[in-house]
């Protein structure tokens, strides 16, 4: 935190001193009740994003072998396959929505997963929760979901998230563990912060070093700072790399939409590998 020099005022030595009062420098004495603090003195100076950027990018990621991309590609397709909902899943109480959220939760609770898998799961969780909140709004407006005083769409969505995960996880409670409302809120918060670091491309999360894990959970780092860090990260990436990971995401979504089998999925990856000479 850097001091704001503009907040310091210069004492006027020529000002008269009345009733024998001793002179004091108002720039350094704390304000009294009759002397409210100036808004300029209350102004906080935002930390310089550069202090967080040092060591944030893993330069080795730009030279990752094809096997790394292959694992990420298959992970993303599997995640989409397990969580993509059919068009008729239009109710917030549809068990398929709960199952999709649980599939992501299982990844997040598995400490054996590589960091990049957990990061991708968090990003995809934002998509699911945005969809859930949209469905809640539609259900409430159509009368299918009774309104509750003091409960907005987001609050109801948190309730459903918590209940659906607890319900689908009952059989394996010892393995999965209980999830509380606090856990749900924290998941949503962290997921939104990871999403800010994607700079529009989830696979760019591969670039971040372990330092990103602590920055995401340091809530003194603002969302605007995360956006700046993401843009700085993307600017450091070779154009070829940015284009490669964007194409990989498109290939995965195409494979899901067109219901590719394993052989077809392998062919799309080989095409990607040839294009970018991995």
pLDDT in tens, 108-121: 988 777 789 999 99
- On the question of pLDDT at 217 being above 60, the answer is yes
Residue range 153-161: average pLDDT? Answer: 90
pTM of the predicted model, to two decimals? 0.77
pLDDT band, very low/low/confident/very high, at 123 (cuts 50, 70, 90): very high
Q: Identify which has the larger pLDDT, 233 or 49.
A: 233
pLDDT (0 to 100) of residue 165: 79
Write the DSSP string, the chain.
----GGG-----TTS---TTPPP--TTTSPP-TTSPPPHHHHPPPPPPTHHHHTTTB-GGGGG--HHHHHHHHHHHHHHHHHHPPPTT--STT-HHHHHHHHHHHHHHH-TTS-HHHHHHHHHHHHHHHHHHHHHHHHHHHHTSS---TT--HHHHHHHHHHHHHHHHTSTTHHHH----HHHHHHHHHHHHHHHHTTTT-GGGGGGB-THHHHHHT-TTS-HHHHHHHHHHHHHHS-HHHHHHHHHHHHHHHHHHHTT--HHHHHHHHHHHHHHTT-
Q: What percent of the chain has pLDDT over 70?
A: 78
**18-27, 67-76, 98-107: range with lowest mean pLDDT:** 18-27
pLDDT (0 to 100) of residue 147: 75
- On the question of pLDDT at 240 being above 80, the answer is yes
Residue range 201-223: average pLDDT? Answer: 95
Q: Identify which has the larger pLDDT, 271 or 185.
A: 185
pLDDT (0 to 100) of residue 10: 35
């Amino acid at each position: 935190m850097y001091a704001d020099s503009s907040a310091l005022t210069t004492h006027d030595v020529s000002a008269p001193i009345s009733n024998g009062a001793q002179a004091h420098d108002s720039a350094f004495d704390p304000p009294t009740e009759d002397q409210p603090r100036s808004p300029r003195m209350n102004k906080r100076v935002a930390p310089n994003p550069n202090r967080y950027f040092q060591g944030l990018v893993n330069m080795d990621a730009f030279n990752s072998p094809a096997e790394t991309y292959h694992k990420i590609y298959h992970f993303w397709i599997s995640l989409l396959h397990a969580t993509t909902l059919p068009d008729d899943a239009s109710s917030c109480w549809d068990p398929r929505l709960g199952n999709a959220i649980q599939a992501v939760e299982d990844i997040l609770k598995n400490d054996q997963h590589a960091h990049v898998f957990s990061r991708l799961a968090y990003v995809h969780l934002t998509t699911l929760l945005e969809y859930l909140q949209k469905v809640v709004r539609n259900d409430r407006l159509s009368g299918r979901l009774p309104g509750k005083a003091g409960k907005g769409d987001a609050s109801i969505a948190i309730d459903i998230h918590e209940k659906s995960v607890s319900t689908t996880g009952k059989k394996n409670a010892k393995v999965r563990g209980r999830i509380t409302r606090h856990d749900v809120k924290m998941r949503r918060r962290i997921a939104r912060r990871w999403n800010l670091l994607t700079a529009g491309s989830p696979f760019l999360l591969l670039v971040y070093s372990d330092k990103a894990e602590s920055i995401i959970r340091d809530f003194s780092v603002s969302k605007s700072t995360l956006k700046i860090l993401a843009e700085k990260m993307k600017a450091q990436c070779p154009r070829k790399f940015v284009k490669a990971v964007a194409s990989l995401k498109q290939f995965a979504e195409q494979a899901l939409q067109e219901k590719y089998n394993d052989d077809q999925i392998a062919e799309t990856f080989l095409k990607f590998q040839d294009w970018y000479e991995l």
